[in-house]
Amino acid sequence: MRILITAGPTREYLDDVRYLTNASSGRMGYAMAQAAIAAGHQVDLVSGPVALSPPVGCQFHPVETTEQMMQACQTLFPQCDGVIAAAAVCDYKPKTRVAGKMSKTGDGIILEMIQTDDVLASLGNSKGSRWVLGFALEAQNERENALQKLRRKNCDWILLNRPTAIGAETNEVELLGQAGETIVSWSGLKSEIAKDVIGWISTHLPSSSVSTSE
């Protein structure tokens, strides 16, 4: 299979030197890419800025902003069999980006924020015969929120994990299906979980699901 994998955070700039982002390390997405390559799959890795080297053997597509991640994914997804959307995409961005560098005035500032592009929903709504595995990092009403995300963004499955995963070497995840059931749970090193997820995908999906008519 050819698999599109997103990883890491995105950045949304306030001015030319300051930006909003999150604490995603990219480890889970990069582990997924490594595991997929080891299993013999082709991988397109679209990654926000992280302190990791891309796995040898993948097609690497570095991005910074959510808009750039959206553009890269929309270009690559039609040639792929499915997507593992592990990136922690910024949900909001400043309505206006200031040119240059904002000067400190001694007063507070008020930022007007607008929503960014929804990368996962875009892929889910255009998937056709492809499969979509999303990620949900939830701190409250975990299963309910994860299942709402699965259905709202037209995923086939969603991996539920929690804030303790941020920056950690280990993780605990549940693979949830469209009926709301827990298909399987995994815990341990992110590298081992990635192997388990890729193994599950390889076992439960045909070798190619891309529709050549799209």
Catalytic residues: 22
Cα–Cα distance list, 86 to 5, 103, 137, 145, 194 (Å): 7, 36, 10, 17, 11
- Output the CA angle 74-77-79, nearest 5 degrees: 130
Contact assessment for residue 82 and residue 130, using Cβ atoms and an 8 Å cutoff: yes
Contact assessment for residue 39 and residue 57, using Cβ atoms and an 8 Å cutoff: no
Distance, in Å, from the CA atom of 29 to the CA atom of 24, rounded to the nearest integer, reads 10
